[in-house]
Structure 1
Amino acid sequence: MPVHTQAGEPRRPPFDAEAARRLREALGMTPAHVAYGIAAAYGMPLSPATVTAWEAGERAPSEAELTALAGALWCAPGELLGAPGTLHEYRLALGLAAADLARRIGMDPAGYARLEAGGRWRGTERQAAALAEALALPLPALIRFTGRDALLTELLTSAATTRWQAYVRPVGKVVPLPKAQLREVLQDLHADYQATMAATLHWGGGERAEESGRAGRAFLDGILTEFWARAGTAHP
């Protein structure tokens, strides 16, 4: 059953104000030069004060303005962005139009637009692989954007709380990592969860049992992030 991906996209891209200033200065341009270049090449009348406000972090350009700014500074849009966190931002960083990306991965443009707006992933494994390749997605981001975070979290929770050996193969079907690596990570998660529970349990009864329960829940709440960290893949 399909599950929800991220809940919508930010209205403005994650602009790197310092990078914009640095690139402008490297070209020997003033904010007035940049504003003029954007207006002349893209038909977007801007004041130098707007460019200055962008560079000061007081305002952020829209997607169209960011594309125009990148053109004026002779750089890729991705050079003006912070770390992408959404599907929209990964696409924007590469300067790809949504319709072009949809065609590249073999997806209906309207369906892809719904996905970026926080809809459900309804694509195939082939389309997921094409999406990862087109956007150079790290594995955690691909799992999140294709709606498999919840399933992976469920599997990891079961592996930590029961027999981890039984979950190597199911986790491997979701996360294409080497079997030996998955075995090591799942075994470590299981051992650490059990140690967390044991550290707060003794024959003293109720209060310690409640403390153990809280510690166990906290461990499981962060198990997905912990899994990516131990697998050597940063969580977005």
Structure 2
Amino acid sequence: MRVHRQSAPQPTPPFDASTARRLRAALGMGPEHVAHGMRTSFGLPHVTPDLVVAWERGLATPGTGELTALAGVLWCSPGELIGAPRTLREHRVARGLAAEDVARAVGLELLAYVRMEEADEWRGSERQSSALAEVLDLALADLVAVTGREAKLAEMLRGAVTTRWQAYVRPVGKLLPMERRTVGHALRALHTEYQRQLVPTPGSWGGGAGAAEAADADGDFLDRIVDRFWSAVRRDGAGSV
């Protein structure tokens, strides 16, 4: 089976192969119908039934243009065909927007925006970041991730749960556009949960398997500290820009 390879160096979005297959089947279409539609309606002569099958089996991944065309043939949005967006580019593709649309909305020259997207390094101002969140409909957690603040947030959160959480309310509040009250509630909840986990159990006394399990649990908690923070924020009734 010959599979067309994308020559573009840009990374492709996380394609949801099972959803593409399910949507095609629901429309009563075969791979040959999808390929025909992409060739005739979207001007992609290289798309063959074998390539469609390869996408659905996870053997190949459609590029941005192919993904948009595939969504058109399957009567869905591009966002329905990709997994959870992670990068700035993936969020844009999920919304079905062109780079020009986003650049115009946030007040950047197209080339400057494209360079940020390719480097996966957002360098916009606070005003431009707010405009980015609006045009891409980003939750606060997503905005923090695509603007490169997640690593700094994780560092602060680890400090908050392992020392005095009160000392981190202001720094975290400055990093994130959130009310200090919400930040304080989330940090206190995380600190309590982490410290409770450190209380020794009979199985962890004297080392052995119990101690190893406790150490693993501690490492897992700190590794997933950002996700736990956003869960605590959602429990407090916030979490959107």
Q: Same fold (TM over 0.5)?
A: yes
Q: How does 1:59-208 map to 2 (within 5 A)?
A: 59-197=60-198, 199=200
Among 230, 233, 237, the residue aligned to 1:231: 233
1:59-107 Cα offsets, whole Å, 9 max, x none, are 2212111111122222221122222122111111111111221111112
Q: Which deviates more from structure 2 when the two are superposed, residues 219-228 or residues 118-127?
A: 219-228
Matched residues in 2 for 1:193 and 1:27: separation?
49
Matched residues in 2 for 1:109 and 1:214: separation?
46
Kindly state the Cα deviation for residue 160 of structure 1 after the two structures are TM-superposed: 2.4
Residue 61 of structure 2 aligns with an amino acid whose one-letter code is A
Kindly state the Cα deviation for residue 196 of structure 1 after the two structures are TM-superposed: 4.5
Q: Which residue of 1 aligns with 2:3?
A: none
TM-score under structure 1 length normalisation: 0.78
1:149-181 Cα offsets, whole Å, 9 max, x none, are 233223223322333223223212222334333
- SS of the counterpart of 1:117? helix
RMSD: 3.1
Kindly state the Cα deviation for residue 219 of structure 1 after the two structures are TM-superposed: 4.4
Q: Which residue of 2 aligns with 1:25?
A: 25
Structure 1's unaligned 5+ residue stretches are 1-8
Residue 108 of structure 1 aligns with an amino acid whose one-letter code is E
Q: Which deviates more from structure 2 when the two are superposed, residues 169-178 or residues 127-136?
A: 169-178
Relative contact order, CA 8 A, sep 6+: which one is greater? 1
Judging changes above 3 Å, is the alpha-carbon distance between structure 1 residues 216 and 134 closer, same or farther for their aligned structure 2 residues?
A: same
Judging changes above 3 Å, is the alpha-carbon distance between structure 1 residues 172 and 74 closer, same or farther for their aligned structure 2 residues?
A: same
Judging changes above 3 Å, is the alpha-carbon distance between structure 1 residues 82 and 224 closer, same or farther for their aligned structure 2 residues?
A: closer
Kindly state the Cα deviation for residue 125 of structure 1 after the two structures are TM-superposed: 0.9
Q: Which deviates more from structure 2 when the two are superposed, residues 220-229 or residues 138-147?
A: 220-229
Residue 28 of structure 2 aligns with an amino acid whose one-letter code is G
Matched residues in 2 for 1:213 and 1:52: separation?
45
- Alignment: residue pair count: 221
Matched residues in 2 for 1:191 and 1:47: separation?
56
Matched residues in 1 for 2:200 and 2:163: separation?
18
On the 8 A contact 1:31/1:48 being kept in 2, the answer is yes
Matched residues in 2 for 1:11 and 1:64: separation?
12
Structure 2's unaligned 5+ residue stretches are 1-8
Matched residues in 1 for 2:198 and 2:31: separation?
59
Q: Which deviates more from structure 2 when the two are superposed, residues 89-98 or residues 34-43?
A: 34-43
Q: Which deviates more from structure 2 when the two are superposed, residues 96-105 or residues 114-123?
A: 114-123
Matched residues in 2 for 1:91 and 1:196: separation?
39
- SS of the counterpart of 1:49? helix
- SS of the counterpart of 1:199? coil
Kindly state the Cα deviation for residue 19 of structure 1 after the two structures are TM-superposed: 2.0
Matched residues in 2 for 1:114 and 1:24: separation?
35
- SS of the counterpart of 2:85? coil
Q: Which deviates more from structure 2 when the two are superposed, residues 134-143 or residues 171-180?
A: 171-180
On the 8 A contact 2:12/2:62 being kept in 1, the answer is yes
Q: Which residue of 2 aligns with 1:5?
A: none
Matched residues in 1 for 2:141 and 2:197: separation?
25
Kindly state the Cα deviation for residue 11 of structure 1 after the two structures are TM-superposed: 2.4
Kindly state the Cα deviation for residue 216 of structure 1 after the two structures are TM-superposed: 6.1
Judging changes above 3 Å, is the alpha-carbon distance between structure 1 residues 78 and 171 closer, same or farther for their aligned structure 2 residues?
A: same
